[in-house]
Each structure stands twice: as C-alpha cells, then as structure tokens.
Amino acid sequence: MRILILEDDPFIALDLQAILEDKGHEIIGIYSSLDEARDHLEDGFDYALLDVDVVGGKSFGIAAELLERHVPFAFVSASHPKDVPPSLGWASFIPKPFEALAILRSVEEVAPDPAICS
C-alpha cells in the first residue's frame, strides 16, 4: 500500500517508515506540518498515519479531508483519544509509544488484499 505519514518528530517518522517498508509498503511522503500534508493530498495514496499535534496545529482538518476523499487513516499520537472530535471518534487511534504490530494491524484492516500485509 502507498502510505502518507504526518508526523513532526523525525525519529518517530523514520520508525514508522521502517516498520511499513519492512512489510513492503511504499511511503509516498513524510510531512511534519499541516501545510505540507495538505499540499500532498492529491499524491495518490491508500492510507495515512496522522499524529494529532503537528507543526501548524492539530491534524483533524487533514483527517476530515481524507474522510471526504474516502482515504482511510489512523491517528498515531500521544494525545488522548478523547481529544479527537466526535465526528472523527470512530477512527483508529494508536497511542504512543506504539508497537509495530499495532501499526501493521491498522494497515491490514484496510488493505484490499491480505497478501499485501504479509
């Protein structure tokens, strides 16, 4: 799967990238700010991992845009799940510090073919 990462901590972003690429997924971009991510929403990806608190504010607007585009996503954040607005409360929420398995499971849940995540 082609995945976009919105994460402002470069070490966490690289960790996510390594976890996903190790399983054959393609990272189409790692962005640290809302503006950067917004500029790349047309890049054609299958899934997104969004930190809640990034440069420029909270990622809820990006999440809403992904929802409108029918692009699945998960929040990966040290924030509390209750901080997510009710309109996005159904979204997957992976707390930091995260385990690699939790990241991979979130992708598996939306992968069109289970073999993609093997």
pLDDT in tens, 28-41: 999 999 999 999 99
Calculate what percentage of the chain has a pLDDT beyond 70. 94
pLDDT at residue 112 is higher than 90: no
For position 113, what pLDDT does the model report?
Answer: 59
Cα–Cα distance between 74 and 90 in angstroms, integer? 10
Which residues are CB-neighbours of 83 under 8 A, at least 6 positions away?
52
72-86 confidence digits (pLDDT tens): 999 999 999 999 999
* Residue range 85-111: mean pLDDT, rounded: 95
Cα angle 69, 11, 16; round to 5: 45
Question: Which amino acid makes up residue 100?
Answer: A
Global confidence as pTM: 0.93
Cα angle 82, 88, 93; round to 5: 60
Q: Which one is predicted more confidently, 115 or 43?
A: 43
The residue among 95, 37, 104, 89 whose CA lies nearest residue 66 is 37
Count of residues making up the chain: 118
pLDDT, mean over the chain: 94
In order of start, what are the domains of the chain with their CATH numbers?
A: 2-117 (3.40.50.2300)
The residue among 89, 21, 101, 22 whose CA lies nearest residue 60 is 89
pLDDT at residue 48 is higher than 60: yes
